[in-house]
A and B are shown apart, each in its own frame.
Chain A
Amino acid sequence: QKEVEQNSGPLSVPEGAIASLNCTYSDRGSQSFFWYRQYSGKSPELIMSIYSNGDKEDGRFTAQLNKASQYVSLLIRDSQPSDSATYLCAVNRYGGATNKLIFGTGTLLAVQP
């Protein structure tokens, strides 16, 4: 089982719709979760971080965390063509003296104008 799993997509949504991106993780002890956006040929940029169960909202983005189900999601409201990118879920792996950020394979989102 992979540490962080995502559906690779592509996920296609019409402009203005809600895009829902999902991620599951295997380490029950994980405490920190992140969503990054990566445009083709560019490095990832941090969109959201979430540490507690429940929802966290920031503008059009809402991250949801359910530690019991080992599940984290990202909702994008009023999707825009500029949101088209690969969305990477990342989970902090605790080990020894250093915490490591482990990434899922990413979900490609395509917002259709």
Chain B
Amino acid sequence: GAVVSQHPSRVICKSGTSVKIECRSLDFQATTMFWYRQFPKKSLMLMATSNEGSKATYEQGVEKDKFLINHASLTLSTLTVTSAHPEDSSFYICSARDKGLSTEAFFGQGTRLTVV
């Protein structure tokens, strides 16, 4: 199946710093990538949809200046959590949609972010 690689898997950062998370589709072209966050024992909450070469579309309530998304190529999207605070601590997961398969999406391994 399609492989999506997400890095880093875990990161601890200090309050006020920024953290960048990368999401790569390794064996397919992903015109669309999605970013989710998940709190413990909760479901995945869609944060934004990232289309290659255009601005990301953010879900209601998600601050676009706080969570910067860049989708520079068909295989790479990045999420930068700016000026991180402890409440940003969460599990962030990306998923990518294969250009040839219109609806199935494949997930990266997730990034456990802890802000101290």
A: which residues have CB within 8 A of B? 31-32, 34, 36, 41-46, 49, 51, 88, 92, 96-106
Contact = CB atoms under 8 A, between A and B. Distances in A.
A44 to B, nearest CB: 5
The secondary-structure label for the interface of chain B is strand
A88 B44 CA distance: 9
B106 A46 contact: yes
Contacts of A45: 107
B32 interface: yes
Contacts of B1: 46
Contact of B43 (A96, A98, A104): A104
Interface of B: 1, 6, 32, 34, 36, 42-44, 46, 49, 51, 57, 91, 93, 95, 97, 102-110, 112
Given A42-B110, A43-B108, A43-B109, A98 B42 contact: no
A49 B42 CA distance: 22
20 contacts: A31-B103, A41-B91, A43-B6, A43-B109, A43-B110, A44-B44, A44-B107, A45-B107, A46-B1, A46-B107, A49-B103, A88-B43, A96-B57, A98-B32, A98-B57, A99-B102, A99-B103, A100-B49, A101-B105, A105-B43
Contacts of B51: 97-98
B44 A46 contact: no
B103 A32 contact: yes
A101 B46 contact: yes
Contacts of A103: 36, 43-44, 46
